[in-house]
């Protein structure tokens, strides 16, 4: 076991024997694990030829190394370490000469060597990005321009190169933004055509977006209309029609099946069904009664009658109300029809002139009276 600091030893001495042994065992295992990791790091450095002072590649740099163009070509290497500015200057000059002669592959190689020799400037990254564009590698060029703009956000050359790269990648809105910014900093005649192309694309995209919004708005409007129609249809289907009420023998407006509130089968409120008494469903399905019930005034009077104390039979004990109903030119005939159907033609006393009484039929002829002399 490696040496343990005095303060840790003092703390261990205050523990019981079993706790102290447990802590010491944990420390021993921890030290062994650290030694194993150190050995793994040394093995990796030996394998890749790195000195002890060379930092291992980070996850970010490894990810950058794995980046590649669409055709599988890896991106050019980025700066990691080194400060040989003289060598970097010579390499940049060689790259400029090769670029002037049209050797973009050679220029790219020299620019990459310059990037690796010393901390690169925004201009160096932008120049390498232009070489990548000439070689048809806009994806790698965009990455170099991002690095350049981190160094100098106002680099017109980096903005212009990135705008051209994004144009090739189909990122038209971003390309238009970059090229417009570069022109504001440093106008370039060759960039004008690119801006015209991107402006047309921008108009097309705005038009397509406007059409999309209109279509979406129309879709939502139609959906709302369909929902409204479905709700109205559901409400309509929940209301029984007058024909369905007639077919079921019901009274329009509240007496389905021919029944009356509080009545038994075929009876009236307060009265049990009796042998020989006509069935209420049959009465209410009679064409004359059903026709009378189509009159709202008659319907209202009948509903009040059925819901009153004692129902229709309670009317017999209220001659005033009966007289009022029977004297109404609309309600009286309908009530007379209903009672005549129910009572076999008998009309309650006090019905008034609205009913055609035939009481004279019960009066004996004078010739039948006995002679009192």
pLDDT digits (tens, 9 = 90+) for 86-97: 999 999 999 999
Q: Is 127 helix (H, G, I), strand (E, B) or coil?
A: helix
Q: Which residues contact 173 (CB under 8 A, 6 or more apart)?
A: 202, 205
* Token pair for 101: 């002669």
CB atoms within 10 A of CB 259: 21
pLDDT of residue 47: 61
For range 252-280, the mean pLDDT: 46
Query: In 3-state terms, what secondary structure has residue 255?
Result: strand
Q: Which are the contacts of 35, defined by CB distance < 8 A and separation ≥ 6?
A: none
Mean of the pLDDT values across residues 267-284? 53
Question: What is the 3-state composition of the chain as percent helix, strand, coil, each rounded to the nearest 5?
Answer: 65, 0, 30
Lowest mean pLDDT: which of 126-140, 161-175, 318-332? 318-332
Q: How confident is the model at residue 270 (pLDDT cuts 50, 70, 90)?
A: very low
Helical H segments across the chain, by residue range: 6-13, 17-48, 59-66, 85-100, 104-117, 122-134, 138-151, 156-168, 172-185, 191-238, 242-247, 280-284, 287-293, 296-307, 311-314, 319-327, 331-343
Sign of the dihedral defined by the CA atoms of residues 359, 364, 366, 370, in that order: negative
pLDDT value of residue 220: 92
Least confident stretch, 51-60, 105-114, 149-158, 254-263: 254-263
**What distance in Å separates the CA atoms of residue 4 and residue 25, rounded to the nearest whole number?**
13
- In this predicted structure, the answer to whether residue 277 has a pLDDT above a threshold of 90 is no
Question: Which is more confidently placed, 192 or 313?
Answer: 192
Query: Of 285 and 54, which is predicted with more confidence?
Result: 285
**What is the reported pLDDT for 344?**
55
Contact 322, 328 (CB under 8 A): no
If one compares 365 and 49, the residue with the highest pLDDT of the two is: 49
> What tokens appear for 21 in the block?
């042994």
Alpha-carbon distance of 23 to 302, in angstroms, equals 98
- Angle 57-59-60 (CA atoms, 0-180°, nearest 5)? 95
Looking at residue 342, its pLDDT comes to: 62
CA distance 108 to 126: 11
Is 121 within 8 Å of 85 (Cβ atoms)?
Answer: no
Q: What is the mean pLDDT of residues 222-251?
A: 70
- Please indicate whether residue 39 or residue 369 has the higher confidence score (pLDDT): 39
Average confidence (pLDDT) over 44-50: 62
Burial class of 321 by CB neighbour count within 10 A (0 to 12, 13 to 18, 19+): middle
| Percent of the chain's residues with pLDDT above 70 | 69
Indicate if the pLDDT at residue 289 is higher than 90: no
The residue among 83, 69, 232 whose CA lies nearest residue 165 is 69
Question: What local confidence, expressed as pLDDT, does residue 311 receive?
Answer: 61
**Interval 230-240: pLDDT, tens:** 888 888 877 65
H or E stretch covering 197: helix 191-238
Please report the beta strands in the chain, taking only residues with DSSP state E, as ranges in sequence order. Answer: none
With 80 as the cut, is the pLDDT of residue 152 above it?
yes
Residues in Cβ contact with 268 at an 8 Å cutoff, skipping those fewer than 6 apart: 260, 280, 311, 312, 313, 342
Residue 191: what pLDDT?
A: 92
Higher pLDDT, 345 or 331: 331
**Each residue's pLDDT tens digit, 343-371:** 554 444 444 444 444 444 444 444 444 44
pLDDT category of residue 282 using cuts at 50, 70 and 90: low
Q: Which residue bears the tokens 């790698």?
A: 140
Look at residue 50 and tell me whether its pLDDT is greater than 90.
Answer: no
Helix (H, G, I), strand (E, B) or coil at 68: strand
Average pLDDT across the chain, whole number? 76
Instruction: Tell whether the model's pLDDT for residue 55 goes beyond 70.
Output: no
* Nearest residue to 117 via CA among 88, 150, 143: 88
Least confident of 27-36, 101-110, 200-209: 27-36
Reported as a single tens digit per residue, the pLDDT across 118-151 is 999 999 999 999 999 999 999 999 999 999 999 9
User: If you search the block for the tokens 């005034």, which residue do you land on?
Assistant: 297
- Tokens 């970010």 label which residue? 60
């Amino acid at each position: 076991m490696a040496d343990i600091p005095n303060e840790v030893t003092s703390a261990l001495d205050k523990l019981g024997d079993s706790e102290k042994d447990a802590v010491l065992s944990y420390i021993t295992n921890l030290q062994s694990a650290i030694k194993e990791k150190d050995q793994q790091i040394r093995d990796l450095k030996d394998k890749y030829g790195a000195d002890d002072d060379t930092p291992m590649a980070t996850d970010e740099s490894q990810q950058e190394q794995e980046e590649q163009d669409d055709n599988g070509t890896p991106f050019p290497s980025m700066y990691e370490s080194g400060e040989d500015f003289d060598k970097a200057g010579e390499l940049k000059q060689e790259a400029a000469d090769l670029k002037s002669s049209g050797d973009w592959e050679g220029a790219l190689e020299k620019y990459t060597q310059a990037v690796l020799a010393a901390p690169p400037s925004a201009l160096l990254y932008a120049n390498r990005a232009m070489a990548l564009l000439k070689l048809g590698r806009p994806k790698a060029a965009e990455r170099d321009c991002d690095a350049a703009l981190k160094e100098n956000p106002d680099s017109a050359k980096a903005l212009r190169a990135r705008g051209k790269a994004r144009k090739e990648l189909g990122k038209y809105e971003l390309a238009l933004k970059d090229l417009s910014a570069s022109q504001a900093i440093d106008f370039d005649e060759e960039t004008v055509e690119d801006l015209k192309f991107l402006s047309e694309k921008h108009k097309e995209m705005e038009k397509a977006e406007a059409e999309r919004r209109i279509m979406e708005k129309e879709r939502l409007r139609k959906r709302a209309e369909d929902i409204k129609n479905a709700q109205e249809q559901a409400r309509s289907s929940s209301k029984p029609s007058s024909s369905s009420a007639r077919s079921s023998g019901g009274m329009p407006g509240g007496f389905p099946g021919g029944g009356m509130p509080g009545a038994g089968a075929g009876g009236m409120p307060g009265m049990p069904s009796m042998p020989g008494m006509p069935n209420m469903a049959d009465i209410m399905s009679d064409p004359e009664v059903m026709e009378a019930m189509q009159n709202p005034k008659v319907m209202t009077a009948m509903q009040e009658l059925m819901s009153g104390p004692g129902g229709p039979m309670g009317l017999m004990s209220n001659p005033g109300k009966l007289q009022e109903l029977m004297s109404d030119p609309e309600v009286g005939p309908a009530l007379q029809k209903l009672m005549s159907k129910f009572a076999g033609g008998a009309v309650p006393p006090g019905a008034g002139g609205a009913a055609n009484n035939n009481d004279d039929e019960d009066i004996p002829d004078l010739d039948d009276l006995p002679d009192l002399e």
